[in-house]
């Protein structure tokens, strides 16, 4: 009888270990933890980001697919290795050396890319550590491959797809649109305003940060198989509260230097002009005109406040148009789609991540909302 109890005990320990497994530091293979309670109590920013990378590459047992298929993952690894520095890390120079091979060789693309590089690097480093950016106290100057993977997942237009396993709906916050990413893009480029312009921190800023941490915990939590019951947001809340960095600055306390925003707009406008050669719909030209108007509006200013940024680059049409609203995020996705789909800007061909079929390059094929549009 005692041997049976011991066998059952050992079996239970193995199951607990399997359920609580999480990816190793390189995001490639599970490493044992101390049970799901231990996962909740001992997870760190780095370990959660590692878990998140594992989800992006492997999906989960519940049937949520990886964000990158095997061919795309192989392509990303090859690109990373080819342009990494001697420490096997990616730097701003690595980003430039790859993207310069992807933009059209005609016109002023190379010049526009070079001028916009600080903005592009700010986006890459921000999304590589989302949602724990507020905890990063020094500028990020290099990226590991897992960090690179997380950034490309966001910037190649797959934001919403990353949270389809999230299973939560908040009437005050809708990941079915790109509005969250537009706020993140603002934060990635923004710097604190002068002290006299700053406001007192609000509780809702802390709450929105905790919400982002809850979202990443929801998809990154370890699951043994499809029958394992996922932890609810209520169960994840104490861990999210513990892991949430101190409240990030209020949006009204931040502004984007025009010297960062204008080069990004210039590059985006040219990317959309190029896209219009392949995309037969009017949307690239419509968005191009919108960004040209935004550029005219901010040119000559020293900084762009969030209210101005929202007025120029966001939209109130989300619900009315079933989310079929194009934004600067689409233009950025055109560029970063060249990571999973090299040469797409030159050939006008890309692979639709939903169907896996090659198709003409068009805006709707690059972002996870494309399949819902009419």
Question: Is residue 190 over pLDDT 80?
Answer: yes
When pLDDT is averaged across residues 242-253 and rounded to a whole number, the result is: 84
Question: Is residue 239 over pLDDT 60?
Answer: yes
Question: Is residue 369 over pLDDT 80?
Answer: no
Tokens 């993207």, located at residue: 99
Q: What are the counts of helices (DSSP H) followed by strands (DSSP E) for the chain?
A: 15, 7
Pairwise pLDDT comparison (316 vs 339), residue with the higher score = 339
Beta strands in the chain (DSSP E): 22-23, 30-31, 191-192, 254-257, 303-305, 349-351, 358-360
Question: Is residue 27 over pLDDT 80?
Answer: no
Pairwise pLDDT comparison (161 vs 189), residue with the higher score = 189
pLDDT, tens digit, for every residue of 103-155? 988 778 999 999 999 999 999 999 999 999 877 778 899 999 999 999 999 99
- Which pairing describes strands 22-23 and 30-31: parallel, antiparallel, or unpaired? antiparallel
Tokens of 202: 């609000």
Question: Is residue 17 over pLDDT 70?
Answer: no
- Residue 256's DSSP bridge partners are 304
Per-range mean pLDDT, top range of 181-185, 234-238, 265-269: 265-269
Integer Cα distance of 308 and 310 in angstroms = 5
Question: Is residue 176 over pLDDT 70?
Answer: no
Question: Is residue 296 over pLDDT 90?
Answer: yes
Question: Is residue 41 over pLDDT 50?
Answer: yes
**Mean pLDDT of the chain, nearest integer:** 81
- CA angle, 231 then 233 then 235, to 5°: 60
When pLDDT is averaged across residues 43-54 and rounded to a whole number, the result is: 94
pLDDT for the residue 367: 62
- Which of 39-53, 166-180, 267-281 has the weakest average pLDDT? 166-180
Integer Cα distance of 23 and 51 in angstroms = 5
When pLDDT is averaged across residues 14-25 and rounded to a whole number, the result is: 42
Confidence of residue 290 (pLDDT cuts 50, 70, 90): very high
Question: Is residue 13 over pLDDT 50?
Answer: no
When pLDDT is averaged across residues 51-66 and rounded to a whole number, the result is: 85
pLDDT for the residue 319: 46
- Residue 173's DSSP bridge partners are 170
Question: Is residue 330 over pLDDT 80?
Answer: yes
pLDDT for the residue 267: 96
* Residues contacting residue 37 through CB under 8 Å, at least 6 positions apart: none
Pairwise pLDDT comparison (36 vs 72), residue with the higher score = 72
Question: Is residue 2 over pLDDT 90?
Answer: no
pLDDT for the residue 331: 92
What pTM does this model have?
0.85
* Residues contacting residue 42 through CB under 8 Å, at least 6 positions apart: 33, 34
- Which of 55-59, 323-327, 333-337 has the weakest average pLDDT? 323-327
When pLDDT is averaged across residues 48-73 and rounded to a whole number, the result is: 88
Give the gyration radius of the chain's Cα atoms: 21
């Amino acid at each position: 009888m005692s041997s049976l109890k011991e066998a059952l005990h050992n079996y239970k320990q193995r199951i607990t270990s399997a359920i609580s497994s999480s990816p190793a530091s390189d995001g490639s293979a599970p490493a044992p933890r101390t049970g799901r309670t231990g996962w909740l109590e001992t997870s760190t920013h780095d370990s959660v980001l590692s878990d998140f990378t594992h989800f992006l590459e492997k999906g989960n047992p519940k049937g949520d697919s990886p964000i990158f298929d095997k061919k795309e993952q192989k392509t990303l690894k090859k690109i990373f290795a080819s342009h990494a520095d001697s420490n096997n890390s990616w730097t701003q120079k690595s980003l430039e050396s790859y993207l310069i091979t992807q933009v059209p060789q005609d016109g002023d693309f190379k010049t526009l890319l070079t001028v916009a590089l600080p903005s592009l690097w700010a986006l890459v480093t921000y999304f590589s550590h989302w949602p724990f950016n507020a905890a990063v106290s020094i500028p990020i100057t290099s990226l590991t491959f897992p960090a690179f993977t997380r950034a490309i997942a966001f910037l190649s237009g797959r934001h919403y797809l990353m949270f389809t396993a999230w299973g939560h709906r908040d009437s005050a916050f809708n990941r079915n649109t790109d509005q969250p990413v537009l706020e993140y893009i603002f934060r990635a480029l923004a710097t604190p305003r002068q002290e006299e312009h700053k406001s007192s921190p609000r509780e809702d800023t802390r709450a929105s940060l905790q919400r982002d941490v809850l979202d990443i915990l929801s998809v990154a939590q370890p699951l043994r198989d499809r029958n394992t019951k996922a932890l609810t947001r209520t169960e994840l809340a104490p861990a999210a509260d513990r892991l949430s960095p101190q409240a990030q600055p209020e949006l009204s306390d931040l502004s984007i230097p025009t010297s960062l925003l204008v080069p990004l707009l210039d590059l985006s406008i040219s990317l959309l002009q190029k896209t219009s050669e392949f995309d037969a719909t009017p949307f690239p030209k419509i968005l191009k005109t919108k960004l040209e108007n935004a550029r005219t509006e901010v040119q000559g200013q020293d900084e762009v406040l969030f209210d101005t940024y929202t007025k120029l680059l966001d939209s109130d049409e989300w619900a009315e148009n079933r989310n079929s609203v194009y934004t600067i995020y689409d233009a950025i996705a055109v560029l970063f789609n060249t990571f999973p789909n090299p040469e797409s800007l030159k050939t006008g061909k890309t692979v639709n991540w939903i169907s896996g079929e090659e198709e003409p390059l068009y805006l709707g094929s690059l972002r996870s909302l494309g399949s819902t549009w009419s």
